[in-house]
Structure 1
């Protein structure tokens, strides 16, 4: 039950001992402040790594061809490896259970795009409908490419949000025509991309349409696919290694040749980031626990000193009839109140500091430093419990002292 007289007494005690109150509160607030800043900076580093992988599915694999650097089976080095439609069938037949989304890709850079009096150059990609999942593109208007578009070799395009802005201004591009390299296409969709501005200046057209225009001999520039999400990181890496091996065998490439066929598996980057973040989290947790332990020790020492300093006061209270229980309760309430108030102040100051720093830490590869509320609240509760225990032990000892002994204490 709320005891007004008890709280008035507590506030009077705290106001009469300002230095003692400030020192104990500062120890707690500083511990929570430091804890908040450490975890905030750690999360900022985590956000930086997450941003680097933003804009593409995390289970993506991209396959590109190059030139051989080693002679193999009587074939000279410097030979250009050219993917064709048969490679698409080969991969899908061989790994049907491990491939989730799949798209061959034909890419043309600096294609002149014209709408009425506006024009600009963009990258045009011929892809399958599955490519939307690889890029994690979000349709803002209309739709992405369909299987029917592929079958009919339709002259349609899905354009990035910034392409629409560049060429159509405030108008909607949906349903309007756009001329690409002298050929007219119909805009069937406008997309945004979490990868940012660069990814929103692409134009996608059906793979069969692009291949018919740019690659009459069934040639493919590269492939994009996602592996089955049920695969672990190690299984995904094994899958891409086997895929690389089989493609090299199919195209008569030396197994040691690293440039003829290049396979980029995002799972490898994800694994490296997870390992780095695991180590970073352990370091931050270790430092955070160390900070809390230092705060707990500081609170304990201060509470022991406070109770010892008040020995005579406690003796007077006992002489006037105060029970040991009431003395212990008063000291514990003071301890909890100061710890909770100072902890909350440290939390607010820490969050305010992180918000104030904000973007200024990006040059140190720390993006959006922040901390989950539950983490800091949990740390504050730990300190409150520590303050309670730290206040209880000396208070119980002091409550056992006989009044005459306490009154004679110097």
Structure 2
């Protein structure tokens, strides 16, 4: 039950002992502030690495052709490997169970795009509809390339958000025609990409359309695919190795030749990032626990000192009829109140500092440093419990002292 007189007494005690109250509050606020900053910086590091890998699906694989560096089966070194449409059929037939999404690709760089008086140069990619999840592209308007577009060899485009901004300003590009190297294409979709500005300046068109325009004899540039998400990281790496081996056999490449085919599997990078984040979480946890322990020790020492300093006061209270229970309750309420208020102030200061410096830390690999509210609230509760225990033990001892002994205490 709320006791107004008790709270008046507590506020009176705090106001009479401003320095003591300020030191107690500072210890608690500083512990929570430091805890918030450490966790915020740790989360900022995690956000940086997560962002770096967000531009593509974490289970994506890209296969590029190269130049042979070793002679093999009558072929000389220095031979360029050329992918063709039959490689598409080969990969899908051999690894149907292991592949989730698949797209052969044709890429043309520095293509001039014109819309009325505006023009700029972009990278144009001819892809299958399956390429959208590979790049984690999010359709903002309209749609992506469809299989019907592939069948009809339609002259349609899905353009990045910044392409729309460059060529159309504040107007929508949907349904408008863009001229690419003298040929008119209709915009059927606008996408955004978590990979950032560079990925939002790509233009996608149907693979069959791009192949007819830019390649001869069913040639293509590279493959992109995502492996079955049911595969573990080790299974995904094994799948990639087998795929590379079979493609080398198909194209007459020495198995030891590292230059003929270049396979980039995001699974390995994802595994390394996961391990790094796990280690980082452990380090942050230990630092956070250490910070809290330091705060607990500080609160405990202050509470012991406070109770000892008030021994005479407690003796007078007992002499006037105060029960041990009421004395303990008063000290506990005071302890909890100071800890809660100081903890909240420390939390607010920590959040304010993180917001203030957040945009300036990207060069140190820290992005959006922040901390979940429940984490800091939990830390504050730990300090409140610690403050309660720290106040309870000496308060219990003080409440047992006889008034005459307490009054004679120096």
Q: TM-score, structure 2 length as denominator? A: 0.97
1:251-330 aligned within 5 A: 251-330=251-330
1:115 alignment counterpart: 115
Between 1:268-277 and 1:160-169, the stretch displaced more is: 160-169
Post-superposition offset of 1:174: 2.3
Matched positions, count: 410
Q: How does 1:391-406 map to 2 (within 5 A)?
A: 391-406=391-406
C-alpha separation in 2, matches of 1:333 and 1:166: 62
**CA deviation profile, 1:261-319 (whole Å, cap 9, x unmatched):** 11111111111111111111111111110010011111111111111111111111111
Counterpart Cα distance in 1 of 2:173 and 2:18? 69
2:339 aligned residue:
339
Specify whether residues 381 and 131 from structure 1 end up closer, same or farther in structure 2 by C-alpha distance, changes over 3 A only: same
Distance in 2, matches of 1:114 and 1:195, equals 25
Decide whether the 8 Å contact of 2:54 with 2:136 is kept in 1. no
Q: CA RMSD in A?
A: 1.4
Q: CA deviation at 1:80?
A: 0.5
Report the counterpart of residue 72 of structure 1 in structure 2: 72
* TM value normalised by structure 1: 0.97
- Quote the Cα distance in structure 1 between the aligned partners of 2:385 and 2:304: 15
Report the secondary structure of 1:337's partner residue.
Answer: helix
Q: Which segments of 5 or more consecutive residues in structure 1 lack a partner in the other structure? A: none
Q: Could you tell me which residue of structure 1 aligns to residue 131 of structure 2?
A: 131
Which residues in structure 2 correspond to 1:346-361 (within 5 Å)?
346-361=346-361
Aligned partner of 1:388 in structure 2 is 388
- Which SS does the other structure have where 1:280 is aligned? helix
Q: Which residue does the alignment assign to 1:27?
A: 27
Residue in 2 that maps onto 1:193: 193
Deviation of 1:215 after TM superposition, in Å, equals 1.9
Corresponding residue for 1:62?
62
Distance 1:287 1:170 in 2: 48
How far is the alpha carbon of 1:74 from its aligned partner? 3.1
Give the secondary-structure state (helix, strand or coil) at the position aligned to 1:189. Answer: strand
Question: Match of 1:357, SS?
Answer: helix
| Structure 2 gaps, min length 5 | none
User: In 1, are the aligned partners of 2:63 and 2:224 still within 8 Å (CA)?
Assistant: yes
1:16, CA displacement in angstroms?
1.5
